[in-house]
Structure 1
Amino acid sequence: MKFFLLTVALVAGLSTIQADQSNATDISSFTAQFSAINHIKDDLQTFTNQQLEKSYDFLLLSSTFDKYELNRPGFEKLYRKISDKAWEDTVGLIKYQSKRGLSVSLDGTQHVVSQLNEGKVGKASLVDSDELSSLKLALGYEKILADESHRIHKKISHAHDKGVAYDPDVAHYLDEEIIEYQSGVIRKLTGYIHNLHSIIEEPKTKDMGIHMFDEYLDKVE
């Protein structure tokens, strides 16, 4: 008898599901969105545009050190590498948001450079940088975007707001694709700044020291 009742209940449940599906005429209700992705869709949109702007900004910065300007191939290589990574992150973020059912609009610049304390307006600090100031600018830029990625991560963390907007899939993506890299490059740039500052403090060997430091960057980057 119990088996018979269970079978009847399952058939009735399946019939209800089929009826519900047959009445679903609005195709827009079927999306890939789930969990708390809508809670941070605007944040991801902004962060994607910041990464896109970063790719152009560091490409511009790298051009300052090419053979026609300061002729520092190591610095040029370093900043072009950061630019390429930002471009890859932009593409990756677009793909990820699409996978999660979001659309992405690349709607202009985010003016990250203007948040840095170089005392210059617009992109001037990018094209007028010397070796040390460019490293400081690069470090400041990375820290701004690292703070942003951490803020988004916190916003969908189980520890934030009693887990109301918890989305472990987004957290995992940020950890693996963004945050781990940011920690590494911030540590690397900090080391470069301290090393180059020590070189510049020796006026008699300053020029040769900067040249050798650039050769080192050209080998390791």
Structure 2
Amino acid sequence: MKLFVALALFASLSSLALAKDEEYCQNTVITACASSAFSGNSICNARFAGIDHVEPEIQAYINAQLTKSYDYLLLATHFNSYQKNRPGFQKLYQGLSDRSFDDSIALIKQITRRGGVVDFNTRHESPASVSTKRNTVEVDELHSLALALDTEKQLASGATHVHSRATHAADADRDPELAHYIEENFLGKQADSVRKLSGYANDLAKLMKVPDPSLSVYLFDEYLQKQ
């Protein structure tokens, strides 16, 4: 009797597995190997949870990070010229450029680790896409800080959007692992960057409220070199 019950249970489980053949890598491999035709299958990948739902948002954010890295690099070059000669501002913007580039690489690694492919030939439009409108780099020190602050707020909003999409989607599209990754590696860092640049902009604006602000700007640049 026990043997009969065991056989019946095994049969029912086997039927359930066969009903879901298309969902599992193992079943796909078994089927393919039976005909000696297995050479890799789209089901046998590293994708799970809501990666399909969040991947376009992250790719849009990668594009935004790369664009802003280039913009910061232009600002750094502008202040490193012999006409401007502001090594402190050059150091600030070079650091922001390097950080955005490194963040792009980290996000690409995260996407591929989860079974995705980053396609730079496809334009991904979403609220995570930071405005790509080109701002002139021929600006003074205070206006450059204002541009940088706006950029950091946009990048912070993009990270928040990706986190929200991964956290508050429907059950099938929710991706806690990606949400945790964005929270741990981007949200706090972007908040700190916004706070720092807002302080710089307000401090320099106060220092420049004099008839000749050239000394104030020079001293502020000296301060930035030491940061």
Answer whether TM exceeds 0.5 for this pair: yes
Structure 1 vs Structure 2 CA RMSD? 2.7
* Contact 2:49 2:172 (8 Å CA) reproduced: no
Q: Are 1:42 and 2:52 matched, yes or no?
A: no
* Contact 2:163 2:182 (8 Å CA) reproduced: yes
Amino acid at match of 2:192: G
* Contact 1:65 1:76 (8 Å CA) reproduced: yes
The aligned residue for residue 117 of structure 1 is: none
* Contact 2:64 2:132 (8 Å CA) reproduced: no
The aligned residue for residue 198 of structure 2 is: 190
The aligned residue for residue 114 of structure 2 is: 100
Q: Please give the per-residue CA displacement for 1:102-157, whole angstroms capped at 9, x wherever unaligned.
A: 0002248977352xxxxxxx34x22x111000000001111112111111111111
- In 1, the alpha carbon distance for the partners of 2:122 and 2:172 equals 31
- In 1, the alpha carbon distance for the partners of 2:207 and 2:201 equals 10
Q: Are 1:165 and 2:179 matched, yes or no?
A: no
The offset of 1:11, in angstroms, is 9.5
* Contact 2:61 2:130 (8 Å CA) reproduced: no
Q: Are 1:176 and 2:195 matched, yes or no?
A: no
Instruction: Map residues 116-131 of structure 1 onto 2, 5 A cutoff.
Output: 122-123=134-135, 125-126=136-137, 128-131=138-141
Match for 1:218 among 209, 221, 225? 225
The offset of 1:33, in angstroms, is 0.4
Q: Please give the per-residue CA displacement for 1:164-194, whole angstroms capped at 9, x wherever unaligned.
A: 5221111111111111110000000000000
* Contact 1:49 1:107 (8 Å CA) reproduced: no
- In 1, the alpha carbon distance for the partners of 2:199 and 2:78 equals 22
Cα separation, partners in 2 of 1:207 and 1:13, compared to 1, 3 Å: same
Q: Are 1:30 and 2:44 matched, yes or no?
A: yes
The aligned residue for residue 150 of structure 1 is: 160
Q: Percent identity?
A: 36
* Contact 1:156 1:163 (8 Å CA) reproduced: no
How many pairs are equivalent? 208
* Contact 1:138 1:189 (8 Å CA) reproduced: yes
Instruction: Map residues 39-78 of structure 1 onto 2, 5 A cutoff.
Output: 39-78=53-92
Tell me the TM-score normalised to structure 1 length: 0.83
In structure 1, the residue corresponding to 2:180 is in which secondary structure? helix
- In 1, the alpha carbon distance for the partners of 2:122 and 2:71 equals 13
- In 1, the alpha carbon distance for the partners of 2:130 and 2:169 equals 30
* Contact 2:208 2:217 (8 Å CA) reproduced: yes
- In 1, the alpha carbon distance for the partners of 2:139 and 2:97 equals 16
Segment drifting more, 189-198 vs 141-150: 141-150
Tell me the TM-score normalised to structure 2 length: 0.81
4+ residue segments displaced more than 4 Å: 1-20, 108-111, 161-164
